[in-house]
């Protein structure tokens, strides 16, 4: 996540990762749609900048979904535990 | 707690939670396949789910409503994308209108469930949830807080 430290051009990024220019560009497009980076043009260059705030907030949001699934799995554990108390169902 | 790993991928807007159970795979599959089992864990005790339609075939629909302490109901649905019992279930999960039809103004998340046999007779279950956008996540969470599915931020801080 080099783009969090400042703007980077797509071609420089492509050189620093074992990826083709097209692959990096595709990756950047995905991140851009998710609001995790912003892109602007400077002449023939495309500059990418990471969006720290969005990245943090997405992680925070994912944490809340984690809590939701954890409580669902706790309930599943209770259902399965009830049965093993009643006798081995295997 | 049987949760063994959590993988959050902010770039893909997805989260995978992996769990290990001692129960055999057929038993764990029942939690999804049997509507009476599903309604025991899908909603929290304060907002229990009642499953209405339950068609686990590709293109099939599962519909449910959740009833709150004040008697208020909120409806949701699954649209089944792929099924391979007892190993795999992919579906879209969204919010529904009062008549049970999908609400097109509300975001839809994609949930992929993969069950794997363990050599010792137990089962590994991986559930991946993918969201269409950060805004959609916020919207789903605000509904979830209303339904007691997710905790308000202040409650989470209390736990941590």
Question: Which residue ranges form the domains of chain A, and what is each CATH number?
Answer: 2-50 (1.10.10.10)
Question: B61 in helix, strand or coil?
Answer: strand
Residues of chain A with C-beta less than 8 angstroms from the C-beta of B3: 70, 73
Assess whether the previous peptide bond of B86 is cis (omega < 30° from 0). Answer: yes
- CA-to-CA distance for A27 and B36, rounded, in angstroms? 43
According to DSSP, the β-strands at A8-9 and B88-96 are unpaired
Contact A75/B at CB under 8 A: yes
- CA-to-CA distance for B118 and B125, rounded, in angstroms? 10
Nearest-10 crossing angle of helices A52-86, B134-146: 40
From the list B17, B37, B121, the residue facing A69 with the nearest CB is B17
Superfamily in which the B3-159 domain is placed by CATH: START domain (3.30.530.20)
Predicted confidence at residue B155, as pLDDT, reads 46
- Is the model more confident about B147 or about B97? B97
Predicted confidence at residue A4, as pLDDT, reads 66
- CA-to-CA distance for A68 and B53, rounded, in angstroms? 23
Q: Is the pLDDT of residue B111 over 80?
A: yes
Predicted confidence at residue A87, as pLDDT, reads 53
Predicted confidence at residue A1, as pLDDT, reads 52
Beta bridge partner(s), residue A42: A45
The answer to whether A59 contacts B141, with C-beta atoms less than 8 Å apart, is no
Residue A48: both structure tokens together: 């990418």
Query: What is the helix (H) or strand (E) element at residue B90, kind and residue range?
Result: strand B88-96
DSSP B134: H
Q: Is the pLDDT of residue B30 over 70?
A: yes
The answer to whether B15 contacts A66, with C-beta atoms less than 8 Å apart, is yes
Q: Are residues A71 and B46 in contact, defined by beta-carbon separation less than 8 angstroms?
A: no
The answer to whether B3 contacts A70, with C-beta atoms less than 8 Å apart, is yes
Lowest mean pLDDT among A56-60, B24-28, B95-99: A56-60
The answer to whether A80 contacts B23, with C-beta atoms less than 8 Å apart, is yes
- CA-to-CA distance for A66 and B160, rounded, in angstroms? 14
Highest mean pLDDT among B27-36, B129-138, B145-154: B27-36
- CA-to-CA distance for B64 and B111, rounded, in angstroms? 16
- CA-to-CA distance for B97 and A12, rounded, in angstroms? 49
Q: Are residues A40 and A32 in contact, defined by beta-carbon separation less than 8 angstroms?
A: no
Beta bridge partner(s), residue B17: B6, B127
Predicted confidence at residue B159, as pLDDT, reads 44
Phi/psi-derived region of residue B121, left when phi > 0, alpha when psi is between -120 and 50, beta in every other case: left
Residue B16: both structure tokens together: 């995978």
**pLDDT under 50: residue ranges of chain A:** 89-90
Q: Could you state, in order of their start, the residue ranges of all structural domains in chain B?
A: 3-159
Each residue of A28-48: pLDDT tens digit? 787 787 777 788 888 888 888
Highest mean pLDDT among A81-85, B88-92, B98-102: B88-92
Q: Are residues B113 and B89 in contact, defined by beta-carbon separation less than 8 angstroms?
A: yes
Residue A14: both structure tokens together: 């492509």
Predicted confidence at residue A73, as pLDDT, reads 94
Each residue of B77-88: pLDDT tens digit? 999 999 999 999
């Amino acid at each position: 996540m080099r783009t969090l430290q400042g703007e980077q051009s797509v071609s420089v990024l492509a050189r620093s990762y074992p990826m083709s220019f097209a692959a990096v560009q595709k990756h950047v497009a995905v991140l851009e749609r998710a609001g995790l980076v912003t892109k602007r043009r400077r002449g023939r260059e495309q500059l990418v900048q990471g969006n720290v705030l969005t990245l943090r907030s997405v992680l925070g949001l994912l944490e809340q979904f984690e809590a939701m699934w954890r409580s669902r799995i706790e309930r599943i554990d209770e259902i399965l535990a009830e049965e093993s108390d009643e006798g081995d169902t295997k | 707690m049987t949760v063994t790993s959590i993988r959050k991928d902010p770039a893909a807007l997805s989260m995978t939670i992996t769990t290990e159970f001692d129960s055999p795979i057929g038993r764990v599959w029942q939690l999804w396949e049997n509507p009476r089992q599903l309604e025991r864990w899908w909603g929290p005790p304060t907002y229990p789910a009642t499953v209405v339609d339950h068609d686990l075939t590709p293109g099939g629909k599962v519909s449910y409503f959740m009833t709150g302490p004040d008697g208020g109901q909120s409806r949701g649905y699954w649209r089944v994308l792929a099924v391979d019992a007892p190993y795999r279930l992919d579906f879209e999960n969204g919010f529904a209108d009062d008549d049970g039809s999908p609400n097109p103004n509300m975001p839809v998340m994609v949930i992929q469930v993969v069950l794997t046999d363990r050599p010792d007779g137990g089962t590994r279950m991986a559930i991946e949830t993918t969201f269409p956008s950060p805004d959609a996540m916020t919207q789903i969470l605000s509904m979830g807080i209303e339904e007691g599915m997710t905790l308000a931020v202040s409650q989470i801080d209390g736990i941590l």
